[in-house]
Amino acid sequence: HCVVWSDYDSQPQVELATGHFMGVETLVRWNHPKHGIVYPDAFIGLAEEHGLIDSLTRVVLSGMRGALAQARQWRDAGLVLQVAVNVSMENLTDVAFPEYVERELAAAGVPPSQLVLEVTESRMMNDPLTALDVLTRLRLKRVGVSIDDFGTGHSSLTQLHEMPCEELKMDRSFVHGAWRTEALRAILLPSLEMARQLGMRTVAE
């Protein structure tokens, strides 16, 4: 029951063809008073297991106001950058979640098109219809939705078929070393072509 606080970091997204800086992904870090910096792999699963993932995501979204405010400054200066935030499938069981996201964007003065929610399906969904409803509401509000860590966990072709997503994010395990490993290329290249034919943007970790 120790008191902790979350720290935030970000990593750039760069367009491969041009080298242009396209956006940033906001990353959550847990600064534990005893163990120091704890990475998401160590606590996301626990947060989901104990029903805390929704509260964690709301903390991240609220704490992201600084990043969104910076995005607004960039936009005012003529540089339009997207900000990506990870959410769990557990967050998509709340039909009020899209309105919450909309309020956060309005408070920051950033248009919904500058926010991308990266959906990670790390656990099987008990209510997939509600999740689909929430995702559809987010897309209707013009918030971007990305399938994160594609090819791992429960992430599957079913998501591409059913979810209203505009972006496919290839897991790093399929990207790193693909230039020298034939098996990885056999997975990566068809996935890129499939995303292209579906009209989806592709992000390689």
Supply φ then ψ for residue 46, to 5 degrees: -65, -40
Q: How far apart are CA 112 and CA 91, in angstroms?
A: 18
What pLDDT, in 10s, does the model give residues 92-148?
Answer: 888 999 998 899 899 888 999 999 998 876 554 667 788 889 999 999 999 999 988
Assess whether pLDDT exceeds 90 at residue 39: no
The pTM (predicted TM-score) of the whole model is: 0.82
Please answer whether residues 55 and 4 qualify as being in contact, where contact means their C-beta atoms are separated by less than 8 angstroms: no
d(CA 26, CA 21): 15
Higher pLDDT, 105 or 38: 105
32 or 64, greater pLDDT = 32
Tell me, what DSSP letter sits at residue 83? E
Which whole-number Å values give the CA distances from 161 to 140, 169, 192, 195, in the listed order?
18, 15, 15, 11
